[in-house]
Amino acid sequence: MSTEDLDLINQLCQLPPKSSCRVLIFSSDYLCSIRFLQVIMSSDFSGNEGRGYADEDTASPSNSASPSTSLAAVTGQGAKASPSGNSSDLLVDSDAPEEVAIYVDSTGAWDGKLRDWPPVPGYDWVPNEVRQIPSSFYNRASFRNLITRTCLVKNSDDARRFKLAICQRTERVCHGRGEYPSDFFYVYATLFKDLKVSLPFTDFHMGVLKTLNLAPTQLHPNGWAFMQAFAAICTGLALKPTPAAFLYFFHVIPHPTKPWVSLRTVGNKHLLTLYNSSYKDFKNHFFKVVPTEAGYESFCNAGPARDAKFPLYWTQDPRKVLSWPKPQMSTEDLDLINQLCQLPPKSSCRVLIGFLGNKNLPANVFDYLSKIDPSRNNTFARLFAQRGGNVRKPSGSASPAPSAVAPPATSHNIQRTLTPPAAVEVPPQQSSPAPPPEAKHKKKGKRKAARETSAESNRSKRHLPDGPPLTGLLSLNVWVAKRLQFNLLSEEKTLVSGLTREEASNMALELAARSAMCLSYAAEDTASTAAELQALREKFEASFKANQDLTLRLAEAERMAEEDKKKASTLLAEARTAQRRMQRSLDDAQLDLHKSTTFISTLTAERDSLRASISTLTAERDALRARVVEVEAENKLLGDEVVNEHVLGFDKALAQCNLLFQVPTDDSRLNVSMMVANGQLVPIMDPPPSTPTVQNANVDAEAIGETGEATRPS
């Protein structure tokens, strides 16, 4: 056998024995598809401990050496697993989903021992609340409870595109790849349990995440609920959801202190209501989704770079969006918005999400929107007719429409033509002549009822002729004249009973000729009308195209006006700020001027006082100078008198010495400018520092007494 055959046998041998052929065949015929039942049973799934979940490396779609777990999961939106785990129980119901294998990487599973878990550094920019919450998916039991009761994929092929991985006790939902061998992203379990999100994500989901620069767990679950409800409306109305059209109805304002980014509805564009005003019990229920080699293209772009279609891990710079502007949208986005704006506002997210996975999704959406606003039934019918969908009337019957139904959101481009809205036909009221007398009116009413009864009975007896089908309008297999029946009353038969065969033929020929003439006139009129209609249609197309151009120009003008308004508001705010700043500067300058004026006045007063003081001091100085001059002159006079007195005293002393001791007066050694100090003659101007003798002291005292400065001793 080949490797494929051996692999197939290994997988089939793991199926439960004695599966019911009747149930499997019934399910296959009813769902019109071949379903692949791949259930790998293990001791853990049956309740025994001590064995793994099929730990063979060949069973893992990623062919990795890490321990992998294969769990039986259900596919199809809104599916619920059988409590007994038996596949036949799932297939008894005609709407029951199939079971597929979901692989779980159990590397690093917690062994249950308590220890001190160190925090992972490098995530200080994340709010503390997120960094404190570990995951509840730390072992295989938590995955078994989730996978066997929740729908994760739509079909078995999607299950091969990824595998799940447990979270270690140190992991947080905001962490990056770390030491894990391949790229992955975190998801919350509530996305699948409550909001019916399936893996892999749709292009619409990934487009919104990429536009907002958010990881799947960075967006609040209410934001996912808005996306799911929006996708339900678009799928139900056979429209293709786009990120730009979705963000037109919401504001996205990230807050640095709030852990999760939320979507806020715009006041005048309130398309959907909040799924849960107090969303709780979801923060610790997260796990890892790891793309496999087979499904890498579902999450990453093709090419050598293989960059992800959306941020896999938390980002520090989520994008701020204030109702996505129309000038940045494509024609498809504008067309989608125009149609969604015709829907009733404030549709329930919870109700619309409940419709997901139902094969009657379009009819359910139509019925729900009709109940919200019954006056818009014609609007919904026109939306369905433009897309070729089946419209369910309020009475419950469905009116068929063309079978070319536009598919829901896919990765392929959908070619659409811009056609005017389909008009709703209203049967015209037939104008009736003036009412005849009462008796005649009753008689005509009876005749009309009799004719309708006869026509209905004859119509019910008609059937298709035997033989080959009709090949054309003039087919020989049927004779239309034989089908004509005239149920004439007796009064009507009297009108032709008197005619001969020739008269009847002539009358028929004349009537046919007149009919042909009327038809010819009508044909000419129809041709001219068709030409006018074609011209009007061309004018309409040109007008429609011009209207589109005008709409785009108007949107551009509105955008430019909005930008100018924002610029003007910014300039006005800046001008007001500058004015306030200049006013404050002016007030400060006026205060400084007042202070300076007061200070100058004080200085002026002090200056005047100083000037007066200076004048007084100048006068005193001049007086003192004059006094100094007088004192100097007086001192000079006194000095001259002192010298004269000294010379006179010297002469007197010399005369006494000559008289008493015969000292010659003409001796050259005698000098009036000398004095005796320490037994030596020294100049009077340089006396020695020694203490003078008593004799010298007396002499000095005598000299001073002679000058008038001291009295002579007695």
* Helices 361-372 & 377-387 angle (0-180, nearest 10): 150
Cα 562 from Cα 325, distance rounded (Å): 10
CB atoms within 10 A of CB 685: 7
Cα 154 from Cα 73, distance rounded (Å): 11
In a 13 Å sphere around the CA of 582, the CA atoms on its Cβ side amount to 6
Q: How confident is the model at residue 5 (pLDDT cuts 50, 70, 90)?
A: confident
Q: How confident is the model at residue 432 (pLDDT cuts 50, 70, 90)?
A: very low
Q: What is the reported pLDDT for 458?
A: 52
What is the C-alpha end-to-end distance of the chain, expressed in Å? 166
Instruction: Please classify residue 263 by burial: count the beta carbons closer than 10 Å to its beta carbon, then call 0-12 exposed, 13-18 middle and 19+ buried.
Output: buried
What one-letter code names the amino acid at 137? F
Cα 350 from Cα 370, distance rounded (Å): 17
pLDDT at 704 over 60: no
Q: Angle at CA 499, nearest 5°, toward 496 and 500?
A: 140
Q: Angle at CA 515, nearest 5°, toward 512 and 518?
A: 155
Q: Which residue has the higher pLDDT, 593 or 436?
A: 593
Residue 365 near residue 238, CB atoms below 8 Å: no
Mean pLDDT of the chain: 74
pLDDT at 474 over 80: no
Cα 83 from Cα 96, distance rounded (Å): 13
Q: Angle at CA 212, nearest 5°, toward 209 and 213?
A: 75
Instruction: Please classify residue 642 by burial: count the beta carbons closer than 10 Å to its beta carbon, then call 0-12 exposed, 13-18 middle and 19+ buried.
Output: middle
What one-letter code names the amino acid at 59? A
Q: How confident is the model at residue 614 (pLDDT cuts 50, 70, 90)?
A: very high
User: In DSSP terms, which residues pair with 102 in a beta bridge?
Assistant: 71
Q: How confident is the model at residue 50 (pLDDT cuts 50, 70, 90)?
A: very low
Over range 185-205, report the average pLDDT.
Answer: 92
Q: Which of 346, 340, 398 is nearest to 372 (CA)?
A: 346
Domain ranges of the chain: 674-707
Over range 241-255, report the average pLDDT.
Answer: 90
Over range 337-346, report the average pLDDT.
Answer: 88
**CA trace torsion 367, 370, 374, 375 (10° rounding):** -140
Q: Is 205 helix (H, G, I), strand (E, B) or coil?
A: helix
Q: What is the reported pLDDT for 98?
A: 63
Residue 319 near residue 252, CB atoms below 8 Å: yes
Q: Which residue has the higher pLDDT, 672 or 466?
A: 672
Q: How confident is the model at residue 621 (pLDDT cuts 50, 70, 90)?
A: very high
| pLDDT > 90: percent of the chain | 23
Over range 589-615, report the average pLDDT.
Answer: 94
What one-letter code names the amino acid at 611? R
Q: Which of 206, 216, 220, 277 is nearest to 252 (CA)?
A: 220
Q: What is the reported pLDDT for 75?
A: 62
Ramachandran region of residue 287, left (φ > 0), alpha (ψ -120 to 50) or beta? beta
Residue 136 near residue 193, CB atoms below 8 Å: no
Q: What is the reported pLDDT for 702?
A: 45
pLDDT at 356 over 70: yes
pLDDT at 28 over 50: no
Q: Which of 265, 259, 301 is nearest to 282 (CA)?
A: 259
Cα 357 from Cα 231, distance rounded (Å): 12
Cα 117 from Cα 120, distance rounded (Å): 9
Q: What is the reported pLDDT for 586?
A: 94
Cα 148 from Cα 143, distance rounded (Å): 8
Q: Which residue has the higher pLDDT, 33 or 659?
A: 659
pLDDT tens sequence across 60-99: 444 444 455 566 565 664 444 333 333 333 323 334 456 7
Select the highest-mean-pLDDT range: 208-222, 380-394, 521-535: 208-222
Q: How confident is the model at residue 43 (pLDDT cuts 50, 70, 90)?
A: very low
With residue 102 as reference, give the H or E element that holds it: strand 99-105
pLDDT at 450 over 80: no
Residue 300 DSSP label:
B
pLDDT at 55 over 70: no
Q: What is the reported pLDDT for 625?
A: 93
| pLDDT > 70: percent of the chain | 68
Q: What is the reported pLDDT for 44?
A: 38
- Tokens 């009475």 belong to 395
What are the helix (H) ranges across 94-219?
Answer: 128-131, 140-147, 156-159, 190-193, 203-212
Q: Which of 97, 98, 101 is nearest to 61 (CA)?
A: 101
Instruction: Please classify residue 209 by burial: count the beta carbons closer than 10 Å to its beta carbon, then call 0-12 exposed, 13-18 middle and 19+ buried.
Output: buried
Residue 684 DSSP label:
T
pLDDT tens sequence across 636-664: 999 889 889 888 998 888 888 888 888 88
Over range 513-529, report the average pLDDT.
Answer: 85
In a 13 Å sphere around the CA of 497, the CA atoms on its Cβ side amount to 7
Select the highest-mean-pLDDT range: 225-239, 416-430, 509-523, 660-674: 225-239
Residue 82 near residue 89, CB atoms below 8 Å: yes
Over range 347-353, report the average pLDDT.
Answer: 91
Q: Which residue has the higher pLDDT, 498 or 436?
A: 498
Cα 384 from Cα 401, distance rounded (Å): 9
Q: What is the reported pLDDT for 415?
A: 34
pLDDT at 21 over 70: no
Q: Which of 565, 552, 548 is nearest to 326 (CA)?
A: 552
Q: Which of 59, 171, 165, 42 is nearest to 107 (CA)?
A: 165
Residue 376 DSSP label:
G
Residue 56 near residue 5, CB atoms below 8 Å: no
Cα 193 from Cα 188, distance rounded (Å): 9
Q: What is the reported pLDDT for 68?
A: 56
